[in-house]
Amino acid sequence: MKIPFSKKERTPFEVLSFISAIAVFSIIFLIFFALLIESFPAMKAFGFKFLIGLKWDPVRDIYGALPQIFGTLTTSFLAILIAFPVGILTAFFLTEISPSYLSRPISIGVELLSAVPSIIYGMWGLFVFAPIISRRLIIPIKNKFPNSPLFEGPPMGIGILTASIILAIMILPLIVSICREILLLIPDKVRESAYAMGATKAEVSFKILFPYAKKGIIGSAFLAIGRALGETMAVTFIIGNQHNITTSLISPSSTIASTLANELSEAVTKLHTSSLIFLGLVLFFLSITVISLSRYLIYSVEKNSGSRK
């Protein structure tokens, strides 16, 4: 719809709102330029090789970011692999299965998971969760499949797998709340007609509702990946912080954000600092890519479902 207002009478309120919009819009560019300028020495020294370099050696001042890029993508991918099915089933529980007196407290509870500070997840993961994972999950699997390349190395409970699970817990609320919103947007008519034909709840959920909301739900997954990519404190505590590329789920790795958190305050040479900021810039681009995808998917859902409520 078109809102009529004449161009002549701009009130201070309107001008202020426009200025704020410009200010908000420009923050991201300011941050981008600040990162760009600071990472220039590293770009000059390594160029494109930075992205495919395997060595991160502060002593010799040689920096390659592939291990961290690998770690960031792997943990985020595994996290979404875990959180997505859990999240969508939880959303189905809240909207389709649960009686209403249960669905409110549970959805608040799930939401509260996102309110727990990141550093608490880190400390909890380190002291409580990692030992449990090691004893109850990794050691039994190792005993069953002693030669599996996925479970090579000492079963400390620290590494890619544990970090991914903690990340999954942290992004779960985001997936649940978006999926829930989308499911609630689907008109009741759709459900009722299916139930009238004798469909079970599982069939309604997977065969009717899921295809209906597919794009939006997948969009939420991308948004959650975006969140996972930049997660810092929690991951730093439990990933094991070793810059290496590995096939083993239980061996240590490192992510871009954890490397920043670990090394930024202790970086002595200019090139080291600059390379760390270059890493930040790489993360920035990863986020932009993922969020663009999610935006595109969610946007097309909104367009399909017609007017908003």
Partner 1 sequence: MKKILLLTLILMAQVTLFSQVKTITGAGATFPYPIFGKWAYEYEKITGLKLNYQSIGSGGGIQQISNKTVDFGASDSPLKSEELNSKGLIQFPMVIGGAVITYNLEEIPDLALNLDGESVALIFLGEIKKWNDPRIAKLNPELRLPDKEITVVHRADGSGTSFLFTNYLSSVSLKWKNLVGYGTAVDWPTGVGGKGNEGVASYVKQSEGGIGYVEYAYAKQNKMKVAKLKNRDGNFVEPSVESFKMAAENARWDKVDNFYLILTDQSGKNSWPITGASFILIYKNQENCEKAKTMLQFFDWCYKNGSKYALDLDYIPIPENVYSMVENLWAEKVVCSGKKVWSN
Partner 2 sequence: MNKRHSILRRIYDYTFKTFATFFAFLAIFILGAILYEVLKRGSGAINFSFFFHLPKPPGEAGGGIANAIVGSFIVTFIASMIGIPIGVMSGIYSAEFGRGTSFSRYLKFSTEILSSVPSIVIGLFVYAVIVVPMKSFSTIAGALALSIITIPLIHGVTEEMLLMVPNTLREAGLALGVSYPFVVRKICLKSAKIGVITGILTAIARISGETAPLLFTSLNSPFFNFSLLKPMPTANVTIFNYAMSPYDDWRQIAWGASFLITVAILLLTILSRILFKRVKNG
Does 236 help bind partner 1 (rule: CB under 8 A)? Answer: yes
What part of residues 134-153 is at the interface with partner 1 (CB under 8 A)? 134
User: How many residues in the shown chain lie near partner 2 by CB under 8 A?
Assistant: 87
Contact with partner 1 (CB under 8 A): which of 7, 25, 266, 306?
Answer: 266
**Residue 203 found at the interface with partner 2 (CB under 8 A):** yes
- The residue among 146 and 306 lying less far from partner 2, judged by its C-beta, is 306
Binding to partner 1 by residue 157, rule CB under 8 A? Answer: yes
Identify residues 91-120 at the interface with partner 1 (CB under 8 A).
Answer: none
Number of residues that bind partner 1 (CB under 8 A): 35
Instruction: State yes or no: residue 245 binds partner 2 (CB under 8 A).
Output: no
Nearest-10 Cα torsion for 81, 87, 93, 96: -90
Q: Do residues 152 and 138 make contact, with C-beta atoms less than 8 angstroms apart? A: no
Q: Provide the mask over 277-306, with x wherever binding to partner 1 is found by CB under 8 A and - wherever it is not.
A: ------------------------------
Among 3, 115, 196, 268, binds partner 1 (CB under 8 A): 268
| 137 binds partner 2 per the rule CB under 8 A | no
Shortest distance, position 203 Cβ to partner 2, whole Å: 7
Identify which range of 39-47, 107-115, 138-146, 147-155 contacts partner 2 by CB under 8 A: 107-115
308 binds partner 2 (CB under 8 A): yes
- At closest approach, how far in Å is the CB of 113 from partner 2? 5
Among 55, 104, 214, 270, contact with partner 2 (rule: CB under 8 A): 104
State yes or no: residue 81 binds partner 2 (CB under 8 A): no
